[in-house]
Structure 1
Amino acid sequence: MSAPLVPQGAAGGSADSSTSFAASESGTSTTDGTRDIVATGSSTVEVEDVPAAITQISDAATSAGGYVESSQVGGGYGVVPLDATASQPAVSSGWITVRVPAEALTSVMDGLSAVGDVTATSVNRSDVTEQTVDLRARVAAGEASVARLTELMAQAGSVSDLIAAESALSERQAQLDSDRAILTSIESQVAMSSLSVQLNMRSQTVAADPAGFGDGLVAGWNGLIATLNGVVIGLGFLLPWIAVAGIVVLIVWGVRRIVRNRRGSREA
């Protein structure tokens, strides 16, 4: 009976051990001695026209060699398209996310001051050198393992050996594809930085117009006239009542006088 063609650990843990050893031998720097940094920027900008600002940022990212990842224009009535017509409500806010080359991130963020008033900005940088070094070692080990298993399949002396080699190759190929996809994603984030910009409509400033001495004099005169008018109206309203009250008082006084005279006559 022939010995199995699948090497021990081809689909198991020995390959991972060799990968970790390769990563530790490589250290935490890339082959050219640089570091792998993922940079992510965010800013908040107040602008006069949100759709126009989104267009400006999009053009700046494209000119720098990047592209627009996503964008949205929001107004008081929900989300509206970028090509909003004049009949639609005014847009009060929006946001845009762009990807630009890592070396152009700073210049693109500096250019936001030409779009509007930058009220907040931040940049987050993550060092992923160890992760990329480890992934590159895993990919290299996986490629070597796949090549070795492919050779062993061609040398398989029995059906059982062939099935074992195919199973190990399938597992190793799936792991290799996964490692390649993750490495490609991280390398893309390193090469192309992400910038998210929140756009808000600038609040309208109300111009102050303090009143002067002349305005105060006019206001005082108008108030005096209004007061005099009120007094005249009040007097006109009270005069009929005053006349009626006077007549009543005269009648009462006359009655009392008559009563007094009669009482005096009786006593005499």
Structure 2
Amino acid sequence: MITSRIALTLGLTTLLTLGGCSAGATESYEDMAVSAPGMAVGESVEMAAVESDGKAGYTSEPDVITTGYLSMSVDEPSAVADQISEVVVASGGRVASRSDYSPVDYGQPSAYLDVRIPSSDLDATVASITDLGEVQEISVNTVDVSLQKVDLDARIEVLEAAIERLTTLLVSAETTADLITIESALAERQAELDSLQSQRDYLSDQTLFATLSINLITPVDATPSDPDGFLDGLMRGWESVLAFFAGTVVWAGILLPWIGLVVVLVAVGWFIARIRSTRKQ
């Protein structure tokens, strides 16, 4: 009886030690990366994996999260948004969100999409999308998350070993107190493992699929580009003259009723003043 209690106590102590090791895994990997400042991030991550597991568990190519923004000028934003959705789905991706704006009285239509594209097909898919309109702005950003992946994998491995050991101790528990203690520790480790696995799955999804935000506007709302030559400049100047006169006509139509109202009020005031002056005479 005493021997079994001692063994159980030693087992729980060992598991607590393993839990502490999982919490300190991040610092150990960060120290490995910092200790070699001239080494690339992907290479330091690979060395960390080799030193921790004794074998190369990760490739030298770093895993990155890719995000981007694309703004295009198109004639019909909603129709082009449908075409973009088809291109994304055909590449193996998906449309995460979409919003369409179709004004009734004034303004210009527009559309906005957030799409997830497989990272391996990102360049080809973006090229297909840009063929559907005139590109106004495009940007792509990448963030290396190899170190985070290594850290999560190491902590998950430690927790899985701790849970396996706790399960073995649970079977051999001889008292109610031991049973409650082991079940509490097992539930805590399992909750932490589920959380880390969720983080790992989310990180994998972010690296496997790039996130691209696409804004579709009409040529009226598009930012004008610089003229290419004399003829282009001449056409821009003529368009500006026409736009000025068109705006002048619109404002004249807006002001005309007010001018008429002011004329009527002035005429009424003059007529009243005229009557008063006649009575005084």
Partner of residue 110 from structure 2, selected from 83, 88, 93:
93
The answer to which structure, 1 or 2, has the higher relative contact order (CA under 8 A, 6+ apart) is 1
Partner of residue 21 from structure 2, selected from 11, 15, 18:
15
Q: Which blocks of at least 5 consecutive residues in structure 2 are unaligned?
A: 33-42, 47-56, 225-234, 240-281
TM-score, with structure 2 as normaliser: 0.64
Cα gap change, 1:17/1:185 in structure 2, threshold over 3 Å: closer, same or farther?
Answer: closer
* 1:10 counterpart letter in structure 2: L
- Is the contact made by 2:108 and 2:220 (CA closer than 8 Å) also made in structure 1? no
More helix by share: 2
Q: SS where residue 113 of structure 2 aligns?
A: strand
| Distance of 1:146 and 1:181 partners within structure 2 | 17
* 1:100 counterpart letter in structure 2: I
Q: Does 1:76 align with 2:103?
A: yes
Identical amino acids, percent of aligned pairs: 28
| Distance of 2:214 and 2:162 partners within structure 1 | 45
Cα gap change, 1:27/1:171 in structure 2, threshold over 3 Å: closer, same or farther?
Answer: farther
- Is the contact made by 2:23 and 2:155 (CA closer than 8 Å) also made in structure 1? no
Q: Does 1:177 align with 2:183?
A: no
| Distance of 1:154 and 1:190 partners within structure 2 | 40
Give, in angstroms, the shift of residue 20 of structure 1: 4.5
Give, in angstroms, the shift of residue 103 of structure 1: 1.2
Number of residue pairs aligned between Structure 1 and Structure 2: 199
Partner of 1:143: 160
* 2:146 counterpart letter in structure 1: T
Cα gap change, 1:17/1:196 in structure 2, threshold over 3 Å: closer, same or farther?
Answer: closer
- Is the contact made by 2:87 and 2:129 (CA closer than 8 Å) also made in structure 1? no
- Is the contact made by 1:73 and 1:91 (CA closer than 8 Å) also made in structure 2? no
TM-score, with structure 1 as normaliser: 0.67
Decide which moves more: 159-168 or 110-119.
110-119
Q: Does 1:31 align with 2:58?
A: yes
RMSD over aligned Cα, in angstroms?
2.8
Partner of 2:92: 65
Partner of 1:112: 129
Q: Which blocks of at least 5 consecutive residues in structure 1 are unaligned?
A: 78-87, 210-268
| Structure with larger Rg | 1
| Distance of 1:185 and 1:46 partners within structure 2 | 33
* 1:127 counterpart letter in structure 2: D
| Distance of 1:20 and 1:92 partners within structure 2 | 49
